[in-house]
């Protein structure tokens, strides 16, 4: 049966996805996420791995009603650009929140969630999602 | 290097053509363009299209279309830049003729979107985005544009009502365009009440799904002189620029640097500036794109395009008049072909024979074709001789 | 509970008799793996260890995401623990997580490794309309096991009591489990918990009064109090670790979440009895003594009550959609 989620693709990207590992340009300091072979800003190939902070704020967001194949069980699906505490931007779903409660600027934290399943028999795609910061409240 | 003329244009009406396949649509537009040029035989064919691989299970599109149109045994290939394929393809053909290697190149854009359910087409359109880090999470193409719309509205204090002026203007412009998918007026209230697709983008902010084909025939100066109908319109400047596909690696969410860079170069080649342009056909797949591009192309200061639209700027009668065809919103947007529609339309505007809303006396026009949410931008500046 | 009773036409005294008010279910993007990961992250934060120093990951669940493909390796990778690690998913109905904990404790004690991670997690499913539906819930708990001198609670002893008792089971290709109704009580739950606890008390020379807290596997709100009473343990010592009334039976989370809640309030020097039970059947009985380190570690991650209090109610329709019990063609 045809696979829509390929084992190799899931495996290749897992560290970058689950652990928010990005690249940092040694030349200009730009943080690159998702990672690329060269810096999009200055073109340098001198890059190093860095693990991004897991907390940040919602820079902007949308609530997707017209979802694509495989996402009906997630509709309405909130997607945000999150600006992490070190300035890097990440695109990810927002979770554990009602659409009406989402606000630009709210503090969020990364969690590991189930993104989609390749039918009944295929692989499960996991990834990062952001939810209203819980851990930080606790530390207050 | 030779001047490049647009010798012939052809378009199909855009809509849900359940009775027409790929070749039916391409033939209609291509034959019209060839006939319009006086029967010129293209030496090469550039096909523009975005989703044939996924939705039509068809690759080898250059060969497939060229040979299908009776144009085998010559160079032919597909140019793809998501929804900016059309502009990129015309630019490609432009370089081929300008270099002197070809005297006549046919660009034919064709897209067949309506054979599958919306959720499938939505998934195919999302391939304009980053597969592993955007599409993977269910971020639809509309969703990505919605991120930019919300960011822009919050940053510049632009209201829903102000943004709605754009789609209202698009629909109003398209009423007389026989090629347009939608030819009925809408109101701001209609826009505000229309279904939310990806908040804050509503249905009436979004270009429709439709099938269509457009073609332009580009010829060299030498060939132009020999044609019975001497071409009146030439491409004075053209350039393309790309940016990161993924939004998270862009410099800013409210900028489209690739558009600015392509425009600056195209203006320079043409020896013109924004103030010289009479008519434009720019990429408004979503309201936010039209608004932001007006700014990137130098027609409005950043953050103010919507306000200016509400003051009457860019409407018919203004210089420049924006999207007299009705734009992607109302004329339609068979994604990979739209950039070709734009060049055909501006050519007809400058020739004075556009069958819809006309910008009388237009001498200089500009098209902007965009792929993704700002990842591939092509700008053409066209002039009347 | 009223909502479930309303939909299936249950007589209201049925859920009342279970001593459960409401239950927690996983969201549409959660499963036993994502919950287990989060619990493990909290445990690692409290332990303050570098994940790469953890050399074993045991994932106990009866709702693993795959029948074959360990969740343990996905969690290990996502936490930065692998590749030098023992890892496997364990099954023993509701006590798989506890078996993992036992194994983790043994490996560390024997000196094979400095730290090990044990997780118990479930998104329990019950046949819609079956009485189990009232209590089948979602939750996870995790523990980082390490040297006594770094621990918030030290193991005094453990006793495991296991027999072939078919009280509750799920076939290899069945979607929902079946059970023997009354048979799940005396011959299963009570016999094994009592067997394990008595075995523990004898081997350590302890009496019921020696424990400050007692946490039992909690399939409903009543059984733990009943078994405690039979063991001579008063309800005040059981209630702090009794979470089922407000979150339902989280299966492999059950006793372990109760234990975590007790650790949220226990004082140094106090002794905690923890007795998970799994159908099929078996029970463990642990005696843990809390150390001084509990005070400084407690607030490094959210408390159990933080999770319990953070909730949103859903009706049966949304519940059915979220738990995937509505039959549909995927599109």
Give the nearest partner residue to C302 out of A15, A112, A134, using CB atoms. A134
- How far are the Cα atoms of B346, C174, C194 from residue B31, in angstroms, in the given order? 19, 61, 88
pTM confidence score: 0.93
In this prediction, residue A2 carries a pLDDT of 74
DSSP secondary structure string for all residues of C155-205: EEEEEEEEEEE-SEE--TT-SS-EE-GGGGIIIIIIHHHHHHHHHHHHHHT
What does the pLDDT average to over C307-323?
Answer: 94
Q: Say if residue B91's pLDDT is above 60.
A: yes
Q: Are C241 and C213 in contact (CB under 8 A)?
A: yes
What does the pLDDT average to over B367-376?
Answer: 97
Return the bridge partners of B109, or none.
B48, B214
Distance from CA of A102 to the nearest CA of B (A): 12
Per-residue model confidence as pLDDT tens digits over B227-241: 988 999 999 999 999
Query: To the nearest whole percent, how much of chain B has pLDDT over 90?
Result: 97
CB contact under 8 A, A139 and C324: no
Separation between Cα atoms, residue A40 and residue B243, nearest integer Å? 8
Closest residue by Cα to residue B70 from B25, B110, B30, B103: B30
Q: Which CATH number fits domain B4-116+208-384: 1.20.1070.10, 3.40.50.300, 3.30.200.20, 3.40.47.10?
A: 3.40.47.10
CB contact under 8 A, B147 and A115: no
Give the nearest partner residue to A127 out of B122, B126, B136, using CB atoms. B136
Question: Among B327-331, C37-41, C278-282, C325-329, which is the least confidently predicted range?
Answer: C325-329
Give the nearest partner residue to C331 out of A72, A95, A111, using CB atoms. A72
What does the pLDDT average to over C92-115?
Answer: 97
Q: Are C30 and C69 in contact (CB under 8 A)?
A: no
Judged by a CB distance cut-off of 8 A, whether residue B199 touches chain A is: yes
What's the token pair of residue C197? Answer: 């606890």
Quick one: C153-296 is in which CATH superfamily? Thiolase/Chalcone synthase (3.40.47.10)
Judged by a CB distance cut-off of 8 A, whether residue B123 touches chain A is: yes
Which chain A residues contact residue C301 at CB under 8 A? 135, 138
Separation between Cα atoms, residue B370 and residue B379, nearest integer Å? 9
Closest residue by Cα to residue A95 from B233, B320, B137, B219: B137
In this prediction, residue B119 carries a pLDDT of 85
Domain residue ranges of chain B, discontinuous segments joined by +:
4-116+208-384
What's the token pair of residue B126? Answer: 């999302």
Separation between Cα atoms, residue B3 and residue B99, nearest integer Å? 10
Average pLDDT, chain C: 96
H-state helical runs in B175-284: 188-193, 221-226, 257-270
Average pLDDT, chain B: 97
Give the nearest partner residue to C27 out of A95, A135, A138, using CB atoms. A95
Separation between Cα atoms, residue C144 and residue C301, nearest integer Å? 13
Q: Which secondary-structure segment (H or E) carries B238?
A: strand B233-242
Per-residue model confidence as pLDDT tens digits over B296-336: 999 999 999 999 999 999 999 999 999 999 999 999 999 99
Separation between Cα atoms, residue A124 and residue C69, nearest integer Å? 11
Domain residue ranges of chain C, discontinuous segments joined by +:
2-148, 153-296
- The 8-class DSSP code of residue C71 comes to H
Separation between Cα atoms, residue A114 and residue C29, nearest integer Å? 5
In this prediction, residue B208 has a pLDDT band, given cuts at 50, 70 and 90, of very high
Is B83 a known active-site residue? Answer: yes
Which chain A residues contact residue B207 at CB under 8 A? none
Which chain A residues contact residue C66 at CB under 8 A? 124
All domains of chain A in start order, with CATH: 7-14+53-139 (2.40.50.840)
Neighbours of C163 (CB within 10 A): 12
- The 8-class DSSP code of residue A88 comes to -
Q: Are C125 and C176 in contact (CB under 8 A)?
A: yes
Give the nearest partner residue to A32 out of B150, B249, B253, using CB atoms. B249
B102 phi and psi, to 5 degrees?
Answer: -125, 140
In this prediction, residue B83 has a pLDDT band, given cuts at 50, 70 and 90, of very high
Q: Say if residue C135's pLDDT is above 70.
A: yes
In this prediction, residue A123 carries a pLDDT of 95
- The alpha carbon of C310 is separated from its chain's Cα centroid by a whole number of angstroms, namely 19
Separation between Cα atoms, residue C240 and residue B244, nearest integer Å? 54
CB contact under 8 A, A134 and C306: yes
Give C 19-38 residues with CB within 8 A of chain A: 27-31, 33-34, 37-38
Arch. (CATH architecture) of C2-148 = 3-Layer(aba) Sandwich (3.40)
Judged by a CB distance cut-off of 8 A, whether residue B360 touches chain A is: no
Q: Are B191 and B164 in contact (CB under 8 A)?
A: yes
CB contact under 8 A, A79 and B143: yes
Which chain A residues contact residue C38 at CB under 8 A? 111-112
CB contact under 8 A, A65 and B150: no
Torsion B250-B253-B259-B261 (CA) sign: negative
Query: Dihedral through CA B238, CA B244, CA B250, CA B256, nearest 10?
Result: 20
Judged by a CB distance cut-off of 8 A, whether residue C320 touches chain A is: no
Exactly one of C38, C62, C99, C133 is catalytic; which is it? C62
pLDDT by residue, tens only, chain A of 140 residues: 678 899 999 999 999 999 999 999 999 999 999 999 999 999 999 999 999 999 999 999 999 999 988 899 999 999 999 999 999 999 999 999 999 999 999 999 999 999 999 988 899 999 999 999 986 544 44
- How far are the Cα atoms of A98, A115, A132, B213 from residue A108, in angstroms, in the given order? 14, 18, 4, 46
Size of interface A-B (CB pairs under 8 A): 120
In this prediction, residue C330 carries a pLDDT of 74
Q: Say if residue C233's pLDDT is above 60.
A: yes
In this prediction, residue C302 carries a pLDDT of 95
Q: What is the ipTM of this complex?
A: 0.93
CB contact under 8 A, A114 and C29: yes
Is B73 a known active-site residue? Answer: no
Torsion C42-C91-C26-B135 (CA) sign: positive
What does the pLDDT average to over B132-156?
Answer: 96
Judged by a CB distance cut-off of 8 A, whether residue B120 touches chain A is: yes
What's the token pair of residue C122? Answer: 């479930």
Q: Are B64 and B77 in contact (CB under 8 A)?
A: no
What does the pLDDT average to over C164-186?
Answer: 93
Q: Do the domains at C2-148 and C153-296 have one common CATH topology? A: yes
Separation between Cα atoms, residue C125 and residue C139, nearest integer Å? 12
Distance from CA of A140 to the nearest CA of B (A): 30
Judged by a CB distance cut-off of 8 A, whether residue B227 touches chain A is: no
């Amino acid at each position: 049966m045809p696979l829509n989620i390929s084992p190799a693709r899931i495996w290749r990207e897992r560290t970058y996805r689950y652990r928010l590992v990005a690249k940092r340009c040694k030349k200009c300091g730009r943080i690159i996420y998702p990672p690329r072979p060269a810096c999009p800003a200055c073109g340098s190939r001198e890059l190093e791995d860095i693990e991004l902070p897991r907390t940040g704020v919602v820079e902007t967001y949308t609530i997707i009603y017209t979802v694509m194949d495989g996402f009906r069980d997630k509709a309405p699906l909130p997607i945000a650009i999150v600006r992490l505490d070190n300035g890097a931007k990440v695109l990810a779903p927002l979770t554990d929140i009602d659409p009406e409660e989402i606000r630009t600027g709210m503090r969020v934290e990364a969690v590991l969630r189930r993104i989609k399943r390749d039918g009944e028999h295929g692989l499960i795609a996991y990834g990062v999602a952001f939810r209203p910061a819980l851990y930080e409240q606790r530390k207050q | 290097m030779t001047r490049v003329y647009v010798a012939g244009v052809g378009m199909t009406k855009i809509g849900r053509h359940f009775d027409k396949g790929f070749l039916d649509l391409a033939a209609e537009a291509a034959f019209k363009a060839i006939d319009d040029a006086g029967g010129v035989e293209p030496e090469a064919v550039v096909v523009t299209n975005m989703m044939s691989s996924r939705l039509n299970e068809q690759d080898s599109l250059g060969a497939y279309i060229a040979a299908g149109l009776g144009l085998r045994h010559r160079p032919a290939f597909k140019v793809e830049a998501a929804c900016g394929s059309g502009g990129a393809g015309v630019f490609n053909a432009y370089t081929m003729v300008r270099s002197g290697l070809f005297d006549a190149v046919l660009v034919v854009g064709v897209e067949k979107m309506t054979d599958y359910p919306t959720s499938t087409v939505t998934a195919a359109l999302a391939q304009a985005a980053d597969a592993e880090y955007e599409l993977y999470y269910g971020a639809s193409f509309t969703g990505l544009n919605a991120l930019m719309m919300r960011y822009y509205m919050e940053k510049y204090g632009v209201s829903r009502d102000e943004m709605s002026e754009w789609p209202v203007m698009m629909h109003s412009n398209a009423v007389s365009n026989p090629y347009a998918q939608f030819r009925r007026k809408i109101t701001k209230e209609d826009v505000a009440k229309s279904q939310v697709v990806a908040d804050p983008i509503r249905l009436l902010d979004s270009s429709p799904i439709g099938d269509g084909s457009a073609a332009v025939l580009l010829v060299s100066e030498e060939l132009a002189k020999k044609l019975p109908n001497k071409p009146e319109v030439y491409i004075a400047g053209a350039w393309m620029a790309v940016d990161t596909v993924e939004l998270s690696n862009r410099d800013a969410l409210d900028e489209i640097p690739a558009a600015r860079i392509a425009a600056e170069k195209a203006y320079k080649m043409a020896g013109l500036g924004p103030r010289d342009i009479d008519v434009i056909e720019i990429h408004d797949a979503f309201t936010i794109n039209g608004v932001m591009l007006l700014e990137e192309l130098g027609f409005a200061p950043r953050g103010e395009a919507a306000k200016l639209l509400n003051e009457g700027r860019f409407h018919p009668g203004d210089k420049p008049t924006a999207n007299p065809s009705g734009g992607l919103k109302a004329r339609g947007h068979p994604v990979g072909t739209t950039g070709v529609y734009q060049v055909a339309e501006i050519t007809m505007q400058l020739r004075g024979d556009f069958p819809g809303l006309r910008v009388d006396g237009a001498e200089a026009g500009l098209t902007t074709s965009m792929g993704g949410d700002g990842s591939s931008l092509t700008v053409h500046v066209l002039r009347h001789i | 509970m009223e909502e479930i009773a309303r939909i299936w036409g249950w007589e209201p005294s049925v859920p009342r008799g279970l001593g459960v008010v409401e239950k927690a279910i996983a969201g549409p993007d959660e499963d036993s793996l994502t919950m287990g990961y989060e619990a493990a992250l909290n445990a690692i934060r409290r332990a303050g260890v570098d994940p790469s120093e953890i050399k074993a990951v045991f994932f106990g669940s009866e709702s693993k995401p795959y029948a074959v493909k360990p969740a343990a390796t996905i969690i290990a990778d996502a936490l930065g623990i692998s590749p030098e690690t023992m890892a496997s998913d364990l099954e023993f109905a509701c006590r798989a997580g506890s078996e993992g904990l036992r194994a983790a404790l043994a490996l560390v004690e024997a000196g094979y490794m400095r730290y090990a991670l044990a997780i118990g997690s479930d998104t329990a499913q019950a046949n819609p309309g079956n009485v189990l539906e009232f209590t089948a819930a979602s939750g996870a708990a995790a523990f980082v096991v390490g040297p006594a001198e770094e621990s918030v609670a030290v193991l005094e002893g453990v006793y495991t009591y296991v027999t072939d008792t078919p009280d509750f089971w799920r076939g290899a290709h069945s979607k929902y489990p079946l059970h023997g109704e009354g048979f799940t009580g005396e011959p299963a739950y009570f016999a094994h918990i009592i067997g394990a606890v008595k075995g523990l008390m004898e081997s350590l020379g302890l009496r019921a009064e020696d424990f400050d807290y007692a946490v039992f596997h909690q399939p409903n709100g009543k059984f733990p109090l009943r078994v405690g009473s039979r063991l001579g343990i008063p309800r005040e010592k059981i209630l702090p670790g009794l979470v089922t009334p407000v979150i339902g039976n989280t299966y492999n989370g059950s006793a372990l979440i109760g234990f975590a809640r007790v650790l949220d309030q226990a004082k140094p020097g106090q002794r905690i009895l923890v007795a998970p039970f799994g159908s099929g059947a078996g029970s463990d009985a642990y005696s843990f003594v809390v150390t001084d380190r509990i005070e400084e570690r407690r607030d490094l991650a959210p408390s159990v009550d933080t999770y319990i209090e953070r909730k949103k109610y859903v009706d049966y329709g949304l519940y059915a959609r979220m738990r995937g019990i509505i039959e549909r063609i995927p599109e």
